[in-house]
């Protein structure tokens, strides 16, 4: 049985901090699920770390559904949350309802995530009233990168800080079961966490959130174009993969691989029959 929103809420009540991660494919989902991660996010970050875009804006709902299917197949315990992409929930709550329904019916997700605070509260309420679990997302909202003027920390000024607190309370009141706090000052994240009954999930928001989420490609050192300030590399898979590929190329070139150990055999009599039937010129 998969982790439920009730269990996530219980983590908050018991003061049990937890980790969440993104995943985009079966293999990664199996590893993350096997590590006991309670929430796997199929993030629109796949636009950059999987599809090679400069930001998340080109990601489509079909992209998310495609990768969500894979993650669901590769996991059995974690709650799988599908990220609603740019302009798939902004028009009105009914558009959001249709998009969320597709993620759940076609993708197999147990919940959806959407960006925005007070302005998205009516949409969150519409989804939750329809039985859809919603993870909210405030602070740095990557889908608004053009409006924000880049990937910049949010909440440093008095106006921004007060606005983010109002956003956090609004999404909670609208029924969100958790809220991502991205790239806001640690002191503000602590205050938000103290004032909410739902879990806060930080990324670049200090150590006092109820949980932490990171892009799996970042913590594994698999995506190396740049390293965000808010992440830490716990492995260096890109370097290991590069070395392995170079060794493979070398062994194929030098006829060290494959060997008989990696080959299939057949009866020598059959070999002779083939030779006799097709003699070399």
Give residue-wise pLDDT tens across range 61-116.
Answer: 999 999 999 999 999 999 999 999 999 999 999 999 999 999 999 999 999 999 99
pLDDT attached to residue 178:
98
- Same-domain check for residues 166 and 217: yes
Name the domain count of the chain: 2
If asked whether residues 164 and 269 sit together in one domain, one would say no
Same domain, 75 and 58: yes
Mean pLDDT of 152-168: 91
- Exactly one of 115, 182, 247, 269 is catalytic; name it: 182
Note whether 167 and 248 are same-domain residues.
no
pTM of model > 0.85: yes
Last residue of some domain: 236, 252, 268?
236
275 classed as catalytic: no
Whether 206 and 269 map to the same domain: the answer is: no
Quick one: what percent of the chain has pLDDT higher than 90? 91
Q: What is the CATH number of the domain that holds 103?
A: 3.20.20.60
Please give the pLDDT value at position 93.
98
Asked if 186 and 206 touch (Cβ cutoff 8 Å), the reply is yes
Overall average pLDDT of the 33-60 stretch = 96
Same domain for 267 and 153, yes or no, is no
Same domain, 200 and 215: yes
Domain of residue 165: give its range: 5-236
Clarify whether residues 131 and 72 are in a common domain.
yes
Q: Are residues 246 and 146 in the same domain?
A: no
Residues 133-142: tens digit of each pLDDT: 999 999 988 7
Query: Residues 97, 200: one domain?
Result: yes
Mean pLDDT value of segment 164-171: 98
Find the range with the poorest average confidence among 46-55, 56-65, 145-154: 145-154
């Amino acid at each position: 049985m998969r982790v439920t929103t009730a269990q996530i809420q219980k983590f908050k009540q018991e003061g049990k901090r937890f980790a969440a991660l993104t995943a985009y494919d079966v293999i990664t989902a199996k590893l993350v699920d096997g590590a006991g991660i309670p929430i796997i996010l199929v993030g629109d970050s796949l636009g950059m770390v999987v599809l090679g875009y400069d930001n998340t804006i080109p990601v489509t709902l079909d992209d998310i559904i495609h990768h969500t299917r894979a993650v669901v197949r590769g996991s059995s315990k974690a709650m799988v949350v599908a990220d609603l992409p740019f302009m798939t929930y902004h028009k009105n709550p009914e558009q959001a309802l249709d998009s969320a329904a597709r993620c759940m019916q076609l993708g197999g997700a147990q919940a959806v995530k959407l960006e925005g605070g007070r302005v998205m509260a009516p949409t969150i309420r519409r989804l939750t009233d329809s039985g859809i679990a919603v993870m909210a997302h405030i602070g740095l909202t990557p889908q608004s990168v053009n409006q924000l003027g880049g990937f910049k920390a949010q909440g440093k000024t008095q106006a921004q800080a007060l606005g983010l607190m109002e956003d956090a309370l609004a999404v909670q009141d609208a029924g969100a079961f958790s809220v991502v706090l991205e790239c806001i000052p640690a002191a503000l994240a602590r205050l938000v966490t103290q004032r909410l009954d739902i879990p806060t999930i930080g990324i670049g928001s200090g150590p006092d959130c109820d949980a932490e989420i990171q892009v799996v490609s970042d913590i594994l050192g698999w995506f190396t174009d740049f390293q965000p300030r808010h992440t830490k590399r716990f492995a260096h898979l890109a370097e290991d993969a590069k070395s392995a590929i170079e060794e493979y190329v070398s062994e194929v070139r030098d006829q060290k691989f494959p060997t008989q150990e990696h080959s299939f055999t057949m009866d020598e009599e059959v070999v002779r029959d083939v030779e006799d039937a097709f003699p070399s010129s």
